[in-house]
Amino acid sequence: MAIKITGIGSYIPRGIEKNEDFNNHEFLNADGSSINHENTVIIEKFKAITGIEERRYAKKEYTSSDLGFFAAEKAIADAQIDPETLDYIIVAHNYGDVQKGSNFSDIVPSLASRIKHKLRIKNPKCVAYDILFGCPGWIEGVIQAQAYLKAGMANRCLVVGTEMLSRVVDDHDRDSMIYSDGAGASIIEKDDSDTGILSFETATFTYDEAYFLFNGSSYNPDAEQATKYIKMYGRKIYNFALTNVPNAMKSCLDKSGIAIQDVKKIFIHQANEKMDEAICERFYKLYDYPMPEGVMPMSIHKLGNSSVATVPTVFDLVRQGKLDNQEVNKGDIVIFASVGAGMNINAIVYRY
């Protein structure tokens, strides 16, 4: 029995925020002091490190559950299924629904319940719930869905990753330029083919790493300090990811029995171009095998980091032939991998 993705869909907001749009921001250090560089220099250094040229922001009237619903509709249409036949709807996010102009996270009812409501599904046995697993949330949702399918508890699941990080960023923090909005969704089913999930790996590191990503006050000391924004210790995350993500990917690939030379694509969380490249290079070094050119499709240059949405979105873009010089063909071995708040890491080896 194979557990496979039978439908995929993504929603990419139309609002484009370019790097030069940040020229008038007042960026500050964490202690509130001024940065001794012009914004043009700050932005140029940012682009050199992250690879981000622009990012997408959703319309003011939308929330995360709206974006998740749009992506879910596309995945359901792609799989050509009746949504009433879904057994589970699993929605990964971090901040719930945040209205434009607010910093309040609304998660009652759950985003999964809201998306089920928007899909107009009547079946009460279609169970809807949220997971909070940081940026690896969509992959973790797929791992959970395959467990339900293997256990005979479900035949068909919808897994959604949706986020609107533009609503929870501190305008005075340079890291605010990383984040964006978006959603990706997938239908997970079982069949008798030889494609699908071959192995997975998942882990949570909290002893020293739990608060590498956290909610913190604005860098502007004159701002309301009770209001919290997404914050991170970038260097700590970089060093953590560089060691632990390649190891998780190797463990996952070894469990699958697939040889490194047979891996065609790595769909990695679009967090930071330089970090992602370093992770993949380190992964291939573990096998003493050269990293193939074009093995790691990237969407971060134009879409930014939309957290849980990045992996299903870049997979959808490649599947549709919308990324230059990138394609995935039947039988190809691909790896999904991510790292994020928690600190959580996961990976899936998948035969397309």
* Cα–Cα distance measured from residue 289 to residue 295, given in angstroms and rounded to the nearest whole number: 13
Matching residue, tokens 């997970």 = 188
With contact defined as beta carbons under 8 Å apart, do 88 and 154 qualify?
A: yes
Buried b (16+ CB within 10 A) or exposed e, 97-135: bbeeeeeebbbeebbbbbbbeebebeeeebbbebbbbbb
- Show the tokens assigned to 332: 């190809």
Structure tokens given for 131? 């997971």
Tell me the pLDDT band of 32, cut-offs 50, 70 and 90.
confident
pLDDT of residue 37: 86
* pLDDT band, very low/low/confident/very high, at 31 (cuts 50, 70, 90): confident
14 Cβ contact list (under 8 Å, min separation 6): 56, 59
Among residues 346, 345, 93, the alpha carbon closest in space to that of 240 is found at 345
Residue with tokens 């609107």: 164
Distance CA 319, CA 264 (A): 13
Taken in order of first residue, the domains within the chain and their CATH numbers are: 2-193 (3.40.47.10), 198-351 (3.40.47.10)
What is the C-alpha separation between 296 and 269, in angstroms, rounded? 10
Q: Rounded mean pLDDT of 87-97?
A: 97
Nearest residue to 159 via CA among 110, 93, 91: 91
Contacts of 194 (CB under 8 A, 6+ apart): 2, 351
- What lies within 8 Å, CB to CB, of 277 at 6+ separation is 296
- Residues whose CB is less than 8 angstroms from the CB of residue 5 and which lie 6 or more positions away in sequence, other chains included: 142, 186, 187, 188, 196, 350
Cα–Cα distance between 242 and 285 in angstroms, integer?
Answer: 12
Question: In one letter, which amino acid is 27?
Answer: F
Express each pLDDT in 205-225 by its tens digit. 999 999 999 999 999 988 888
pLDDT band for position 103 (cuts 50, 70, 90): confident
Question: Is a pLDDT exceeding 90 seen at residue 104?
Answer: no
Predicted confidence at residue 120, as pLDDT, reads 98
pLDDT, tens only, 274-297: 999 999 999 999 999 999 999 999
Could you report the per-residue pLDDT of 105-160, keeping only the tens digit for each? 999 999 999 999 999 999 999 999 999 999 999 999 999 999 999 999 999 999 99
Tokens 């005979």 locate to: 152
CA distance 46 to 262: 34
Average pLDDT over residues 325-335: 95
DSSP 24: T
Report the C-alpha gap between 69 and 183 in whole angstroms. 9
Rounded-to-integer distance, Cα 134 and Cα 338, Å: 9
Q: What is the model's pLDDT at position 86? A: 98
The pair of structure tokens assigned to 138 is 């969509």
Query: What was the pLDDT predicted at 221?
Result: 87
pLDDT above 70: percentage of residues in the chain: 100
Residues 6+ apart with CB under 8 A from 285: 246
In the chain, the percentage of residues whose pLDDT exceeds 90 is 88
Neighbours of 25 (CB within 10 A): 16
- Across the range 47-52, mean pLDDT stands at 93
Instruction: List Cβ neighbours of 134 (8 Å cut-off, separation of 6 or more).
Output: 94, 213, 307, 308, 339, 340, 341, 342, 343, 344
53-84 burial: b if 16+ Cβ within 10 Å, else e: ebbbbbeeebbbbbbbbbbbbbbbebbebebe
Q: Which residue has the higher pLDDT, 157 or 45?
A: 157
The pLDDT, as a whole number, for residue 192 is 84
Q: What is the pLDDT of residue 161?
A: 98
> pLDDT band at residue 52, thresholds of 50, 70 and 90?
very high
Confidence of residue 193 (pLDDT cuts 50, 70, 90): confident
Rounded-to-integer distance, Cα 269 and Cα 178, Å: 13
Q: How far apart are CA 288 and CA 302, in angstroms?
A: 32
pLDDT exceeds 80 at position 1: no
Residues 29-47, mean pLDDT to the nearest whole number: 89
Is residue 102 predicted with pLDDT exceeding 90? no
Q: What is the mean pLDDT of the chain?
A: 95
Residue at 16: amino acid letter = I
Rounded distance between C-alpha atoms, residue 162 and residue 57, angstroms: 13
Could you report the per-residue pLDDT of 235-261, keeping only the tens digit for each? 999 999 999 999 999 999 999 999 999
